[in-house]
Structure 1
Amino acid sequence: MASSTVPPPRPDRPPRPNLAFRRLRGQRSPAEFAALVRRAAREIGEQVSCDARYVGRVEAGEIRCPNYAYERVFLHMYPGRTLTDLGFAPRASVRGRGARDAEDTPRAHATSPACATGDAPGASETPGAHEPYDTQNPYDTHHDHEESDVLRRAFMTRGGATVAAASLGPLGLAHDASAADRPPHRAGASEAGALEEAVRRIRLLDDRHGADGLYRRAAAPLRAAYALLDAGATRQATADRLHSGAGELAISVGWLAHDSGRFDDARSHYAEALATARMTGDQALEAHAFCNMAFLARDAGRPREAVRAAQAAQRVARPLGSPRLMSLLALREAGGWAGLADRTGCEQALAQAHALYGRGSTDADPEWMTFYGEAELAGLEAQCWSTLGDWPRAARHAGRAANLQDPHFSRNIALYTAELADDLARWGHPDEAAAAGMRVLDLLDQVQSSRIQTMLAGTARVLLPHRRAGGVSTFLERHASSPRMA
């Protein structure tokens, strides 16, 4: 982290409010607009720590010119405009001013032209922003208090999320921080059962409503679960159930973080589950943790790690005797090979996944794999072909996935349809892509997933040059006016 001894700037004149930038924010709150900036950064592989305070400082004129990372993000958000159009001063006019505003500097670990011109390192970057993992992670996981308030308001006012809030209460596990911090009594079978039910409930709600509104609610039951482990159990069998349940709950909460774009949080939860599995020798839990770690690595742009995690999961899972589990793990490996642009490796892993799936289900299949059917198989294969740039094949599998999916899995239907829309758009079928995009927008009233919203935003950008095609302008207008999760 950069030194906090950097002196504050001493402007030679009072800052002039940036009215142009303020107009761009429109009716959104500063925190909501900051979330849009971070989302745009993720879309182009940048990592910025934009929050409501940064937006306020820009609008107040305290930041006369953004650093290079923010410049790329703003110009991506508003194509065709210059920094001057956005209300900023020309970069040449602010060079050589000595120490720059803490928020108005590039990351210390990045090599940028700004560093070469004497601009001082930032003094208040996001905690942990200089860790090696974060330099590889294209997703910024900065969350300020105001953004948290926005998420909580959205969680409590959206219909599906209100159901989720109510559903997490009567599980016998604390869902408020103060209760979670109280030392529990030694756990018995009832607490183990409540923990297992919490895992099922969270998975059910995620299937129906997506992750964004659930993540913060689910973290408190997880703290309570590990407090139960610390307190001990009355019997060894109960202790084993508690460890398994806590590990599965950590994976479920990690998935909620993963699906809502909080990749650092997800990595931490998955690692916690993996440690729990290894302490107790729980091979099923270890395979599950590696499975999700492979998926996370793929999404975070670390395909080689995805391959290795998937292969580790297969080694652990092989003695469990579940062909369906091995099929899913082969798909995770295929996704990693696709990310490495290794078509042969991807095709071999896909063939293995299909062969294993064809062996059918068994009593050894884990309970958490209820989502894995023909639709998910087709959906994950579609993602592989999309990564490889084979848009016709990707669109065919994504359409099949959406058609096969059980109506209960609202989130997955939205996900597969969003994948279909993007594949069709990139294949050169704008009308069909717009129609699929409209179906996704219809589902977003009940599904809250940053992953899906990011995919849909990418599709909208691809369709912009085709705005005059039938149905495309209608989709673009509706997408632009639809609410976004912070």
Structure 2
Amino acid sequence: MASSHASSSPRPNTAFRQLRGHRSPGEFAAAVRRAAREIGEQVSCDARYIGRVESGEIRCPNYAYERVFRHMFPGREPADMGFAPRDAVRGWGARGVGRTPSPQSEIPEATHDSAPSGDLADGASGNPFDRPFDLQRSDSTKESDVLRRAFMTSGTAAMATASLGGAPGARPPRRVGEAEASAVERAVRRIRVLDDRHGGDGLYRRAAQPLRVAYELLDAGTRRQSVADRLHASAGELAISVGWLAHDSGRFADARSHYAEALATARVAGDAALEAHAFCNTAFLARDADRPREAVRAAQAAQRAGRKLSSTRLMSLLTLREAGGWAGLGDRAACEAALLRARTLFGRGAGATDPEWMTFFGEAELEGLEAQCWSVLGDWPRAVEHARQAVFLQDSHFARNTALFTAQLAGDLARAGRPDEAAAAGERVLDLLDQVRSSRIRTMLASTARLLRPHERDPVVASFLSRQSAARLA
């Protein structure tokens, strides 16, 4: 049994690891995204993806990633980068007829947001969770296809039932395994990619169905502890992601419920990473809901859980959440102390233990969260300074955050008595609202518009106010 297991284990991709050089996985992932933009590709590369390639879990990249890697390393073929031939990985015959493929051998075309390849069955239904899969499979894999679509589409309750093994009352749900755990993990990543680009409005309702299926899979049970651990972690992360979509779209009560569900899942599984994440988002929600003392307590609880993970970047973010709570309480000294700790922790750099969900947390986010603190404290010049830096540093992949920080800047400029600049920043946000749907950002713009109303005779301000009013009524 031991030898059989070893033979199916992925082989580390040492050639690709050498290409990364001295850069951290997060830094290298950022370089991949920049290279993609240079050639007009869109990939949602993060530190976790780089880790999966280097560990050998991803034996061959999808077509979009292959084009990006060729651009980054001219003259090198995929084999030179340590990848297996595509036909050896994608060919179902290479895996053995009737055998369910292992997650390590799959090309995750649906995991990262890239253009559909010509050799994939379309399967697109217009739903943003739906992405094409290779449908050239044996009959024994049909159940897996059904399961994956349950997570990638906002299907019916019947779809969830089918993924668990048949019609209600037909037979007890079968136990779940690696394929099901991978499906939940894919759903989490897909939702995060869509949220980064489009915001929470419009995604929340469709994300609720995958969450229900994830918890039904947990109830179905599994014989393997490793699979149970993955299901608990990914179901909890999915609850947080759905909670964040509710949060971003102004459904605070729903968000609070989802975060509490994730926290309960973390406690049941003894998962410190999930617990830290759930408390982190709870602190953020409490701040936005004007419960600053709860924000401080939740952020401190997140830090207690986070200390077990040896990630200074995580601790930096959690300390920023605490700073936001202190700002809401009007405690400038405590807020400044927390901001200083957060910057010190951030300055220690990214690490291999940084959680996957933290790919959004770079220098731009650090500046943006500090800007929010100064804004709450009423220090408009410092708020403007940090908000401007946040906009300047933000990776364009995170369209929602670009719009958010620009809206923050517009509000801070308006409060600082700089109406022309505020209106110009507000117009830049309006330009982004075609692709970003976030009630939180629209609320921020509405607040800025109210502040600028006394200056409506100014042509620049008048233009913004007119566009903002039209967008509000659209």
Aligned residue number for residue 413 of structure 1: 402
Determine whether 1:205 maps to 2:185.
no
Match of 1:173 among 143, 150, 153: 150
Give the AA of the match of 2:128.
A
Aligned residue number for residue 412 of structure 2: 423
Per chain length, whose mean CA-contact separation is higher, i.e. which structure has more relative contact order (CA < 8 Å, sep 6+)? Answer: 1
In the TM superposition, what whole-angstrom CA distance separates every residue of 1:131-180 from its partner, at most 9, and x where no partner exists?
xxxxxxxxxxxxxxxxxxxxxxxxxxxxxx95624349973435323222
- Following TM superposition, by how much is the alpha carbon of 1:376 offset from its aligned partner in structure 2, in angstroms? 0.2
Match of 2:386 among 367, 385, 397: 397
Match of 1:317 among 286, 298, 306: 306
Helix, strand or coil for the counterpart of 2:281?
helix
Determine whether 1:221 maps to 2:244.
no
Q: Work out whether residues 330 and 353 of structure 1, in 8 Å CA contact, stay in contact via their aligned partners in 2.
A: yes
Q: How does 1:428-467 map to 2 (within 5 A)?
A: 428-467=417-456
Helix, strand or coil for the counterpart of 1:166?
coil
Match of 2:370 among 381, 394, 405: 381
Q: Work out whether residues 254 and 268 of structure 1, in 8 Å CA contact, stay in contact via their aligned partners in 2.
A: yes
- Following TM superposition, by how much is the alpha carbon of 1:468 offset from its aligned partner in structure 2, in angstroms? 1.2
- Following TM superposition, by how much is the alpha carbon of 1:416 offset from its aligned partner in structure 2, in angstroms? 0.2
Determine whether 1:335 maps to 2:324.
yes
Aligned residue number for residue 461 of structure 2: 472
Q: How does 1:6-17 map to 2 (within 5 A)?
A: none
Give the AA of the match of 1:166.
D
Q: Work out whether residues 307 and 337 of structure 1, in 8 Å CA contact, stay in contact via their aligned partners in 2.
A: yes
Helix, strand or coil for the counterpart of 1:468?
coil
Aligned residue number for residue 70 of structure 1: none
CA distance in 1: counterparts of 2:288 and 2:240, whole angstroms: 16
- Following TM superposition, by how much is the alpha carbon of 1:242 offset from its aligned partner in structure 2, in angstroms? 0.4
Aligned residue number for residue 164 of structure 1: 128
In the TM superposition, what whole-angstrom CA distance separates every residue of 1:449-477 from its partner, at most 9, and x where no partner exists?
00000000000000000011230001001
CA distance in 2: counterparts of 1:263 and 1:167, whole angstroms: 30
Q: Return structure 1 stretches of 4+ with deviation > 4 angstroms.
A: 167-170, 181-184
Aligned residues with identical type, % of pairs: 68
* RMSD of equivalent CA atoms: 1.7
Determine whether 1:356 maps to 2:345.
yes
Give the AA of the match of 2:357.
W
CA distance in 2: counterparts of 1:409 and 1:225, whole angstroms: 26
CA distance in 1: counterparts of 2:380 and 2:126, whole angstroms: 38
Helix, strand or coil for the counterpart of 1:164?
coil
CA distance in 1: counterparts of 2:242 and 2:407, whole angstroms: 23
CA distance in 2: counterparts of 1:297 and 1:407, whole angstroms: 28
CA distance in 1: counterparts of 2:323 and 2:295, whole angstroms: 9
- Following TM superposition, by how much is the alpha carbon of 1:236 offset from its aligned partner in structure 2, in angstroms? 1.1
Match of 2:288 among 289, 295, 299: 299
Give the AA of the match of 2:376.
T
- Following TM superposition, by how much is the alpha carbon of 1:186 offset from its aligned partner in structure 2, in angstroms? 1.5
- Following TM superposition, by how much is the alpha carbon of 1:198 offset from its aligned partner in structure 2, in angstroms? 0.6
CA distance in 2: counterparts of 1:467 and 1:483, whole angstroms: 17
- Following TM superposition, by how much is the alpha carbon of 1:318 offset from its aligned partner in structure 2, in angstroms? 0.6
Aligned residue number for residue 243 of structure 1: 232
In structure 2, the gaps of 5 or more residues are 1-124, 134-144, 166-173
Q: Name the CA shift for 1:273/1:465 in 2 (closer, same or farther; >3 Å).
A: same
TM score, norm. by length of structure 1: 0.65
CA distance in 1: counterparts of 2:205 and 2:391, whole angstroms: 29
Helix, strand or coil for the counterpart of 2:128?
helix
Q: Work out whether residues 173 and 225 of structure 1, in 8 Å CA contact, stay in contact via their aligned partners in 2.
A: no
Match of 1:345 among 302, 310, 334: 334
- Following TM superposition, by how much is the alpha carbon of 1:298 offset from its aligned partner in structure 2, in angstroms? 0.4
Give the AA of the match of 1:177.
T
Q: Work out whether residues 167 and 201 of structure 1, in 8 Å CA contact, stay in contact via their aligned partners in 2.
A: no
Aligned residue number for residue 194 of structure 1: 183
Q: Work out whether residues 129 and 190 of structure 2, in 8 Å CA contact, stay in contact via their aligned partners in 1.
A: no
Q: Work out whether residues 172 and 191 of structure 1, in 8 Å CA contact, stay in contact via their aligned partners in 2.
A: no
Q: Work out whether residues 129 and 191 of structure 2, in 8 Å CA contact, stay in contact via their aligned partners in 1.
A: no
Helix, strand or coil for the counterpart of 2:150?
coil
